[in-house]
Amino acid sequence: MRMSKKYKIIMYSLLGLFSLYFLLPFVWVILSALKTEAEVFSFPPKIFPDVPQWGNFMDAWNSQPFGTYFKNSVIVTVMTTLGQLISCSLVAYGFARYDFKYKNGLFILLLATMMIPWDVTMIPLYMEFNLFGWINTLKPLIVPAFFGSAYYIFLLRQFLMNIPKDLENAARIDGANEFQIFFKIFLPIMKAPLILIAVLNILLVWNDYLGPLIYLQDQSKYTLALGLAAFKGIHDLQILPIMSITLVMIIPPVLVFLFAQKYIVEGISGSIK
């Protein structure tokens, strides 16, 4: 069913207004970060700075070891994303393509773990990681990702359930073993949902505050989210440094989302149809 020209104009106008509504805070942060202290607190508020103060970013960045925080965030984000992609793809493939005893019961048990809030497991996990000697290291933030996530496994399993069995049977007839079938046939097929999982995990881990707050004590181990919170505590009334660092922290997830948005739509539609 084709939409009329009048209907398209109305729809795009409404979508444009909604987009503007959500973009305004982001635009305000950018403009505020480029102002002087006097312009930030001027009344009536000035929308645009007279002269953009690009040095605000460097001054705020150098006021704390944000380079170290950024490096720690990148390490945690990359390693957890890699761990989730490896573990979740393997587990989902097993649940979707193989038949074994207690398969459905184990999958229900896996889904049941999604109903347990992280607040309940927080203290037992802390005691466990303390026993391992991992407190004040990045390991508690990285290692659990290599054991998978129930939601990501469910997402991939639903995607794999839609693929006909004939595909792998033909590969077996041609002499491919199980690992070749997984790596050469199914991994390329899973490209879109894997990118979707990567983006979701990056957004979650990059903005994670509670995990680093619980497990990290030394400032040299802080992630960017935790470092920003500590920075806000020091510069509570200084708007410019907070706006500058907040903008720097927002940029990487926004870029990831923009580059991967095509695959996000494909991953979601492929997993639920």
pLDDT value, residue 271: 45
Q: Could you tell me which CATH class the domain 60-272 is placed in?
A: mainly alpha
Q: Give the other-Cβ count within 10 Å of 226's Cβ.
A: 21
Q: What is the 3-state secondary structure (H, E, C) of the chain?
A: CCCCHHHHHHHHHHHHHHHHHHHHHHHHHHHHHCCCHHHHCCCCCCCCCCCCCCHHHHHHHHHCCHHHHHHHHHHHHHHHHHHHHHHHHHHHHHHHHCCCCCHHHHHHHHHHHHHCCHHHHHHHHHHHHHHHCCCCCCHHHHHHHHHCCHHHHHHHHHHHHCCCCHHHHHHHHCCCCHHHHHHHHHHHHCHHHHHHHHHHHHHHHHCCCHHHHHHCCCHHHCCHHHHHHHHHHHCCCCHHHHHHHHHHHHHHHHHHHHHHHHHHHHHHHHHHC
Mean pLDDT by 10 residues, the chain (273 residues): 73 85 83 79 77 80 85 94 94 89 90 87 91 92 92 90 84 85 87 88 90 90 87 70 81 82 65 43
Domain coordinates of the chain in residue numbers?
1-53, 60-272
Alpha-carbon torsion (215, 218, 221, 225), positive or negative: positive
pLDDT value, residue 237: 63
* pTM, rounded to two decimals: 0.84
Nearest Cα to 85, choosing from 195, 222, 205?
Answer: 195
pLDDT value, residue 3: 63
Distance separating alpha carbons of residues 231 and 184, to the nearest angstrom? 47
Instruction: Say if residue 268 is exposed, middle or buried (CB neighbours under 10 Å; 0-12, 13-18, 19+).
Output: middle
Q: Give the other-Cβ count within 10 Å of 80's Cβ.
A: 24
